Amino acid sequence: MRRLATFILSVIVAAVALPAPVFAQLNLTPQDLESIYRGSEFYDPTQECSTITYSGESNTQIAYNYFVSSGFSKEQAAGLVGNFLIESAGTMDPKIKQGGGTVTSPTDSSGKPGRGIAQWEYSAADGSGRWDTLLNYAELRGIDPLILTTQLDFVMFELIGEPSVEGISGGYKSDAYNALVETSTVETAAVAVSQKYEINKAAIDFSNKLISYEAAFSARIDAANEVYDAFANFATTNTSYDQNCERNVEDLKFDIVVGDTTDIPCEGQTTRQYDADGYKSGQRYRILVCVVELPDGSAGPHVNSQISGQVYAMLQDAWSDGVEMTGGGFRTMAQQIELRTTNGCPDIYDSPSSSCSVPTARPGYSNHQMGLAIDFHGVHNNATVDGYKADPNNETWVWLTNNANFYGLYQYTAEAWHWSVDGR
């Protein structure tokens, strides 16, 4: 079955200092490296219905997965993230400053006091604000206060005192936590966060009977519902497969290895094999790339060794059916950066894929960079079918639509030509 993927905004999470020769050649700054190397966990599509990860293609998705993995229901997680979207003017940027712009450093005191995804107030004069507490919390843990994962941890610290740190007592927003966990709908969760955790002006005015319920909470409820609709089917705390999952894990033909794959041999016929740096969710791995041989003996897609057998079998079967298809698979980091440049992405490292003239994942975040995706030649977005970009008169697209899932490949909803192990 097909799966949907909604990508909202770009992500800034913890950097992992890993050397790579290409970066020296490009003269990248430390900020550029932070934009490339991300701290989120590998997304394992074989576990999408039973295990929560912190991964995602946007700050919004990572935050949602984080809160579900922390024990909140899907509705409650959406209520939290919907509020943070409103607080951060739709950006979920941990550096955003109240009134616009971004802070230049953790102690940047310019402008209005709100800071970060929850707009914690900075009281530089006396250190009494919640942003001041966040700075102290981050310093004691030795982590950066201006990255998403730190701020998500700090939300949990305020709510329940975990992750704990010596020197500061957490859980001082336990009333917000108690109110939130009692909710069962997206709407009530969004309202509880607004009233008890954010305690924003609109919620106060509502309590003082100065404005209506709709005026106070409608924007937050709408944002929370959008988050729920986008991500609820892709995260669950259940240990068994969730009935809401659109694809049963039995349909997946690949056992995706999280890590290096140089010890996994190529399967099927290949024209060449080579080791390369692969990237998934910003993490770097050393992978074996296999150039799959096509039935006519020429070189086909370059793919990760762990899927080479399935891809080889699929191409053999397609050609047997008269569909002589091939495509481009693995990309190096330099190639991904070059493609982002060619496709006019506003910021090579930080802007979301949707901001490019052709949607293009950020460096370190494309399945192509792990050899787990193929762009099939000759397929175009000529129509939309069931919410998917489609090329219904193209024999390659028709064959893939009818057969690719049996080989563990799934179409990305926005591109008829792009097929991967997890539909991204």
One-letter-per-residue 3-state SS of 221-240? HHHHHHHHHHHHHHCCCCCC
Regarding whether 269 and 222 lie in a shared domain, the answer is no
Residue 144 lies in a domain: yes
Instruction: Give the angle 203-219-345 at the CA atoms, nearest 5°.
Output: 130
In degrees rounded to 5, what are phi and psi of residue 313? -65, -40
Residue 338 above 50 pLDDT? yes
pLDDT at 251: 38
Residue 130 lies in a domain: yes
Average pLDDT over residues 283-304: 95
- Residue that finishes a domain, picked among 237, 270, 287: 237
Regarding whether 397 and 307 lie in a shared domain, the answer is yes
Regarding whether 289 and 151 lie in a shared domain, the answer is no
Which residues are 388's β-sheet partners? Answer: 385
| Chain mean pLDDT for the chain | 80
Regarding whether 162 and 263 lie in a shared domain, the answer is no
Longest alpha-carbon distance in the chain:
76
Regarding whether 369 and 400 lie in a shared domain, the answer is yes
User: Domain limits at 279?
Assistant: 253-420
Residue 152 above 80 pLDDT? yes
Share of the chain above pLDDT 70, in %: 81
Residue 250 above 80 pLDDT? no
Average pLDDT over residues 182-211: 95
pLDDT digits (tens, 9 = 90+) for 341-380: 998 988 888 877 777 888 788 899 899 999 999 999 999 9
Regarding whether 313 and 231 lie in a shared domain, the answer is no
Residue 218 lies in a domain: yes
Regarding whether 214 and 79 lie in a shared domain, the answer is yes
Residue 350 lies in a domain: yes
Residue 275 above 50 pLDDT? yes
- Which residue's structure tokens are 């992405």? 345
Q: Which CATH number goes with the domain that contains 160?
A: 1.10.530.10
Regarding whether 214 and 268 lie in a shared domain, the answer is no
Q: Which CATH number goes with the domain that contains 369?
A: 3.30.1380.10
Regarding whether 170 and 294 lie in a shared domain, the answer is no
**Does residue 331 contact residue 276 with C-beta atoms inside 8 Å?**
no
pLDDT at 234: 60
d(CA 109, CA 115): 10
Question: 423: buried, middle or exposed (CB in 10 Å: 19+, 13-18, 0-12)?
Answer: buried
User: What secondary structure letter does DSSP report for 407?
Assistant: G
**Does residue 169 contact residue 161 with C-beta atoms inside 8 Å?**
yes
Regarding whether 223 and 262 lie in a shared domain, the answer is no
Q: Which of 160-169, 177-186, 225-234, 400-409 has the highest mean pLDDT?
A: 177-186
Regarding whether 325 and 382 lie in a shared domain, the answer is yes
Residue 299 above 50 pLDDT? yes
Residue 13 lies in a domain: no
pLDDT at 8: 24
Question: 335: buried, middle or exposed (CB in 10 Å: 19+, 13-18, 0-12)?
Answer: middle
Residue 42 lies in a domain: no
Question: 190: buried, middle or exposed (CB in 10 Å: 19+, 13-18, 0-12)?
Answer: buried
Average pLDDT over residues 382-410: 88
Residue 304 lies in a domain: yes
- Residue that finishes a domain, picked among 208, 237, 266: 237
- N residues, the chain: 424
Residue 273 lies in a domain: yes
User: What secondary structure letter does DSSP report for 318?
Assistant: H
Share of the chain above pLDDT 90, in %: 53
* Helices 130-141 & 148-160 angle (0-180, nearest 10): 110
- Which residue's structure tokens are 């966060």? 193
3-state secondary structure of 286: strand
Among residues 121, 113, 105, 151, which one has the least CA distance to residue 11?
151
Domain count for the chain, please give it: 2
